[in-house]
Amino acid sequence: MITLGIESSCDDTSIAIIKDGITILTSMVSSQIEIHKRFGGVVPEVASRKHLEAILPLLNEALNAASITLNDIDQIAVTSGPGLLGPLLIGLTTAKALAWYLKKPLIPVNHIEAHLTASFLAASKKPEYPFIGLIVSGGHSNLVYATGPRKFECLARTLDDAPGELFDKIARHLGLGYPGGPVIQKEGENGDPHRYTLPMPMRKKGYVFSFSGLKTAVIRITQQEGKNLNCADLCAALQYVVAEIFAEKIEMALKDRPAKTIAMAGGVAANKVLRERIKKLADKHRVDLLLPTIHLCTDNAAMIAAHGYFSANTVSGNPLEVNAVANWEMGEG
């Protein structure tokens, strides 16, 4: 079964072709990072135009790389939410047109759910349930208990900033550049994570995340330290605290829910400090940890195609009538 995946929820245009849900034949991404750097973040209108320019050439390139034609495609999976409406509509409209023309099934995919599937795709494994899932990205921070392809119990989510948003804002404040996650990791590589004491918001307060207070604390330290600020140490401390916050909540989940696997995904799941901390936690509890490869952490169509493959039987109604959804909760619709 060959699945074509299309992803355009934010600023990356991506096309992928997957076999049987676990084998990547090709996965391509057209990035807009350099374009949005000058703005310090994604401008939806600019992103939409760039998606429109990139999507069909990228589709042809992907088909050539996989040595197949459109007629070899068995089904099409596409991100229909959550995300920015303009960018989402470019990918969704393209997928609908292809599905109608080729008379192939269309599978609308929640791209937050698909991030977790990327963890299994990286290991060339079919998703195994139940598992504890953590999605950490620029716009999301969700801890879930997964019992089926589209069955998620949300245990925790952020009350305010998402971790990727936190990194972007702090990186901009420190003048390090964009996107924040990679530049903060690079800056903090040789830093001392214990030089600066940062708070751990909502620690010992159940299943909830909060990062705005942490952002305020970092900014306050920069103001207090002035020219004496050690940027490397501060970046190391910030990553250390974020990793500890997530480790605490995952450990709670492992004690409350039966699971033998932790799956972590999303753009911030590429962070080295976080990956090492959750690996240490998984070893402590003797559970498997599935992590996507770095290129599968960020938004990509491979995870969309894989999740579409495993969740195809959950689709109801006429997919050609599906619209883009800016806010789509995991497991809904």
pLDDT in tens, 97-133: 999 999 999 999 999 999 999 999 999 999 999 999 9
What local confidence, expressed as pLDDT, does residue 330 receive? Answer: 87
Query: Average of pLDDT values for 227-238?
Result: 97
- Chain-centroid distance of CA 264 in Å reads 9
Question: Among residues of the chain, what percentage have pLDDT more than 70?
Answer: 96
Q: Which domains does the chain have, with CATH numbers?
A: 2-122+296-321 (3.30.420.40), 131-295 (3.30.420.40)
What local confidence, expressed as pLDDT, does residue 161 receive? Answer: 87
Query: Average of pLDDT values for 26-37?
Result: 76
> Which backbone phi and psi does 12 adopt, to 5 degrees?
-110, 125
What beta strand segments (E) does the chain contain? 2-7, 13-19, 23-30, 75-81, 106-110, 131-136, 141-148, 151-157, 261-265, 288-290
Q: How confident is the model at residue 87 (pLDDT cuts 50, 70, 90)?
A: very high
The residue that leads in pLDDT, 2 or 43, is: 2
What local confidence, expressed as pLDDT, does residue 245 receive? Answer: 95
**Which tens digits make up the pLDDT trace of 314-328?**
888 888 898 999 989
What local confidence, expressed as pLDDT, does residue 331 receive? Answer: 82
What local confidence, expressed as pLDDT, does residue 94 receive? Answer: 97
Q: What is the pTM (predicted TM-score) of this model?
A: 0.91
What local confidence, expressed as pLDDT, does residue 196 receive? Answer: 97
DSSP 195-250: SS----TTTTSSS-B--HHHHHHHHHHHHHHGGG--HHHHHHHHHHHHHHHHHHHH
Please give the Cα distance from 36 to 133 (Å, whole number): 30
Kindly give the pairing relationship between strand 288-290 and strand 261-265. Answer: parallel
Q: How confident is the model at residue 33 (pLDDT cuts 50, 70, 90)?
A: low
Question: Is the pLDDT at 250 greater than 80, yes or no?
Answer: yes
**Which tens digits make up the pLDDT trace of 124-168?**
999 999 999 999 987 778 999 999 989 999 999 888 888 989 999
Question: Is the pLDDT at 36 greater than 60, yes or no?
Answer: no
Question: Is the pLDDT at 37 greater than 80, yes or no?
Answer: no
Query: Average of pLDDT values for 172-201?
Result: 94
What local confidence, expressed as pLDDT, does residue 51 receive? Answer: 83
Instruction: Collapse the DSSP code of 324 into the 3-class scheme (helix H, G, I; strand E, B; otherwise coil) and give the result.
Output: coil
What local confidence, expressed as pLDDT, does residue 31 receive? Answer: 73
What local confidence, expressed as pLDDT, does residue 42 receive? Answer: 72
